[in-house]
Amino acid sequence: MLSNEQLGKLVQQVLSAIPGGTQEVKNHLHSALLSGLQKLDVVTREEFEIQSALLLRSRVKLSVLEQQVAELEKHLISK
């Protein structure tokens, strides 16, 4: 999940891209954006990459285990 600090930086980037507007409008927009982003279940790119690597390792281990089970089943059936 994105931290509150990361969400705050993202909101500030969006607000800085909006020209003009009163401070009151920016405050309301800031609150709305922050609230909306906090409801989303988002992660940083780094977290995503870590989880992808873990998933890949798990898939490799599962494949190896499936092969071992298949070989054990062959030995049991042939006896």
Each domain of the chain, given as residue ranges in start order, spans: 1-42, 44-79
**For the residues 39-43, what does the mean pLDDT come to?**
79
Per-residue model confidence (pLDDT) at position 1: 62
Q: What percent of the chain has pLDDT over 90?
A: 38
pTM of the predicted structure, to 2 decimals: 0.52
User: What span, in angstroms and rounded, lies between the C-alpha atoms of 5 and 11?
Assistant: 10
Coil, strand or helix at 50 = helix
What is residue 17's DSSP assignment?
T
Please check the confidence at residue 41 and state whether its pLDDT lies above 80: no
Q: Which pLDDT value is given to residue 60?
A: 98
Q: Go through 16-36 and write b for each residue having 16 or more CB atoms within 10 A of its CB, e for each that does not.
A: eeeeeeeeeeeeeebeebeee
Contacts of 26 (CB under 8 A, 6+ apart): 15, 18
